[in-house]
Structure 1
Amino acid sequence: MKPSAFLHAAKPALILAFALLLAACAGTPLRDVTDPDAPRSLPGTPQVAVSWDDPAGFSDLRRSSNRWESRRGDWVRDLAVYVQQSVARALPPGERAEITITDIRRAGEYEPWHGPQMDDVRIMRDIYWPQITLQLRRTDAAGRELAGGERVLRDPAYLTSGVRSPRGNEALYYEKRLVDDWVRREFAAR
């Protein structure tokens, strides 16, 4: 069979395959952390409730060199889940914590001057350290406030500090390390 005859015979199958691929992708919307219909809190647990302000106001998006890429994904929710799980493990029995994430600046930054092939790559430099700002309200079993107020988690030496190193392509590695350090300090046994 000639190559042109093969392509002519295969054309309907290729068109069908392409149409099916488009149909499958059409039902899968791209995640956008600034979506106004997206939830702004996690389902509460008896011990820990986590919510967050509108990510459109977060430093990571306002100061980004590539705002479109910064908005992609579900990274705010992923980080909130990590906060909730970490605090739940460390919180003494009978206590409750209510946490509102008010700002996030992720580690790294987009540097568009490297060219279009690097537009969607976060470059890690010591000037792009991670920072998370949150509000905490910690209460005992009777509802009395034990601790509260704003907490600013940051690590300007994030590239040189820490015991463990990123494993492969671990998402939000440096931000999770900030949370781990804070949880250790904040919820240490009194």
Structure 2
Amino acid sequence: MNKPILLAAFVSVVMSIPSAWAASSEVEWKDYKSYRDIREGTENRTRFRERTFKQLEDHFAELAAQLPEKQLLKIVVTDVDLAGDTLAGGINQMRIVKQIYPPRMNFSYQLLDAEGQETKADTVKVRDMNFMNSTNLKYRNKALGYEKKMLDDWFKKTFSAELSDSTK
């Protein structure tokens, strides 16, 4: 009778061990009230912003987990412009996605090693002008899919050396 409980406890401990050594991320949203476009459609403004930030923080965490063990990716976001634009449509507003409204994000990042020493840092402005023409099956019909794809591309380009080191 206690075997299933012991087995479940053992499995949960074993499953948590790799994440203890995995790289992690920290995201700071600096002066978010001045961001170019973090407007909601019909949703509550605060809820929309918090949900959007949470989804992007989770995505940065997924990306950081690909880095070598015990590294920390620190991000300070200074501007966000979501794909599309919020336009008035009667009493409701809705986000219209067109090629002329690409996703953009400005941020600085630091990659710290296990001892807290900076190994890489930069201030970047990422933008995907071709966002509607690329094959994006991974995030098809997902919230912030264009933004996540844009961040994936930036991450692969920026951390290609670190990613190849972590697979060795």
TM-score if structure 2 supplies the norm length? Answer: 0.70
Structure 1's 46 and 104: CA in aligned 2 closer, same or farther, altered over 3 A?
Answer: same
Task: From 135, 138, 142, give the equivalent of 2:108.
Answer: 135
1:128-161: CA deviation from partner (whole Å, max 9, x where unpaired): 0000111101122233321112121110111112
Task: State the 1:171 CA deviation.
Answer: 0.8
Consecutive unaligned residues in structure 1, runs of 5 or more: 1-44
1:50-85: CA deviation from partner (whole Å, max 9, x where unpaired): 221132111104xx6x78758352212221221122
- Name the SS of the counterpart of 2:77 in structure 1: strand
**Alignment correspondent of 1:78:** 55
* Distance in 2 between residues matched to 1:55 and 1:123, nearest whole Å: 22
* Distance in 1 between residues matched to 2:93 and 2:121, nearest whole Å: 38
Consecutive unaligned residues in structure 2, runs of 5 or more: 1-21, 163-168
Structure with higher Rg: it is 1
Counterpart amino acid of residue 124 in structure 1: V
Larger RCO: Structure 1 or Structure 2 (Cα < 8 Å, ≥ 6 residues apart)?
2
Query: What percent of counterpart residues are identical?
Result: 29
Is the counterpart of residue 105 in structure 1 residue 78 in structure 2? Answer: no
Q: Counting strand residues as a fraction of each chain, which structure ranks higher?
A: 2
Q: In 2, are the aligned partners of 1:111 and 1:122 still within 8 Å (CA)?
A: yes
Task: From 105, 113, 122, give the equivalent of 1:149.
Answer: 122
* Distance in 1 between residues matched to 2:23 and 2:86, nearest whole Å: 39
Structure 1's 120 and 48: CA in aligned 2 closer, same or farther, altered over 3 A?
Answer: same
**Number of residue pairs matched by the alignment:** 138
Counterpart amino acid of residue 74 in structure 2: E
* Distance in 1 between residues matched to 2:42 and 2:32, nearest whole Å: 13
Computed over aligned residues only, the root mean square deviation of the Cα atoms, in angstroms, reads 2.6
Q: In 1, are the aligned partners of 2:24 and 2:61 still within 8 Å (CA)?
A: no
Structure 1's 166 and 136: CA in aligned 2 closer, same or farther, altered over 3 A?
Answer: closer
Is the counterpart of residue 175 in structure 1 residue 147 in structure 2? Answer: yes
- Name the SS of the counterpart of 2:83 in structure 1: coil
**Alignment correspondent of 1:125:** 98
* Distance in 2 between residues matched to 1:129 and 1:70, nearest whole Å: 23
- Name the SS of the counterpart of 1:143 in structure 2: coil
